[in-house]
Amino acid sequence: MKNIVLFGKPGSGKGTQASLIEKKYNYIHISTGDVFRNNINQKTQLGLEAKKFIDSGDLVPDNLTIKMLEDKVENYKTPSGFIFDGFPRTKSQARALDEFLHTKKTKISLVIELFVDDKILIKRLIERGKSSGRTDDQNELKILNRLDNYNDKTFPLVEYYKKQKKFFSVNGESSVEDTFKKLCNIVDKF
């Protein structure tokens, strides 16, 4: 079983690449952002609690996020692997994921960062906001808040996974196809 974390700032292309990996390798793609948005659309209790954080570009609290992720993983009985897109984003999420996977007798195999310059990210997110309907993409201050949250809370995970010798980085500024080729080279070698 291979479990991959796709890592990177908002707008770095994690969702797009995770979908391509899911198709090619037949792993289960779990996007925490998508799960939250589905819950918001369906007006579940979790959706109601998460909405105010997401709308302002803040992270949803760890306890809600970790529980949601674990419930989601539990749905799949014999997967060949998972691609985690947007999780973990804090050290306590990363530790919780390691412990949880350990109870399932599996682990994170590799973490791949999609690296994209902030100026390009901001352009991409504003562009995405015009068609996605995502309120967190339509306001530059919210986008900057998400980037700040990434720098404060998520960036420390680079060191966490480097220590475990699982961290790889690819440049995510080229075309979707080029980036995907680079990702596949890493996944195939591992």
**175 phi/psi in degrees, rounded to 5:** -65, 165
Instruction: Choose the catalytic residue: 51, 91, 134, 166.
Output: 134
CA pair distance 87, 132, nearest whole angstrom: 21
Q: For ligand ADP, which residue of 89, 94, 147, 167 counts as binding (CB under 6 A)?
A: 89
Q: Which residue intervals of the chain are DSSP H helices?
A: 14-25, 32-41, 45-55, 62-74, 91-103, 118-132, 140-149, 157-163, 176-189
Least distance to ligand ADP, CB of residue 23, Å: 19
Q: Is 134 a catalytic residue?
A: yes
Amino acid identity for residue 158 in this structure: V
Q: Per CB under 6 A, which of residues 64..83 are in contact with ligand ADP?
A: 65
- Site track for ligand ADP across 118-147, x = CB under 6 A: ------------------x---------x-
- Whether 37 is catalytic is no
The β-bridge relationship of strands 167-171 and 81-85 is unpaired
Residue 128 known to be catalytic: yes
Nearest residue relative to ligand ADP (C-beta) = 33
Q: Is 111 in the site for ligand ADP (CB under 6 A)?
A: no
Helix (H) or strand (E) holding 114: strand 110-115
Q: How many residues bind ligand ADP (CB under 6 A)?
A: 20
CB atoms within 10 A of CB 85: 24
Identify the CA nearest to 75 among candidates 22, 28, 107: 28
Examine residue 10 and tell whether it contacts ligand ADP (CB under 6 A).
yes
The answer to whether 33 and 145 have CB atoms below 8 angstroms apart is no
In the complex, minimum distance from the CB of residue 8 to ligand ADP, in angstroms, rounded to a whole number:
8
Stretch that binds ligand ADP, among 41-49, 53-61, 96-104, 159-167 (CB under 6 A): 53-61
89 is catalytic: yes
Residue with the two structure tokens 């530790």:
95
Residues at the interface with ligand ADP (CB under 6 A): 10-11, 14, 32-33, 36, 53-54, 57-60, 65, 86-89, 93, 136, 146
Please identify every residue annotated as catalytic: 14, 89, 128, 134, 146
